[in-house]
Amino acid sequence: MDVPDVDGFIYMPMIEKALENQFVMCRITGVQGYDLIGEIIE
C-alpha cells in the first residue's frame, strides 16, 4: 500500500461462506493492469 494508484488488488469471486477480513488460499488465474484475478482454493 505504498502507492495507492499503483498497488494492485486481488479480485476473487464470492463463495457461499463470508470470507471478508480473513486469509484464504488462492490461485492467480489472470491479470488486469496492476490487479490480479484469482480463485479460492478450498
Name the domain count of the chain.
1
Tens digits of residue pLDDT in 8-38: 788 888 776 777 778 889 999 999 888 899 9
Bridge partners (DSSP) listed for residue 38: 28
The answer to whether residue 26 sits within a structural domain is yes
Cα–Cα distance, 21 to 33 (Å, whole number): 24
Band (41; pLDDT cuts 50, 70, 90): confident
Would you call 18 exposed, middle or buried from its count of C-beta atoms within 10 A (0-12, 13-18, 19+)?
exposed
To the question of pTM greater than 0.85 for the whole model, the response is no
Domain span including residue 15: 10-40
The answer to whether residue 1 sits within a structural domain is no
Cα–Cα distance, 23 to 12 (Å, whole number): 13
Bridge partners (DSSP) listed for residue 26: 40
- State residue 28's pLDDT score: 95
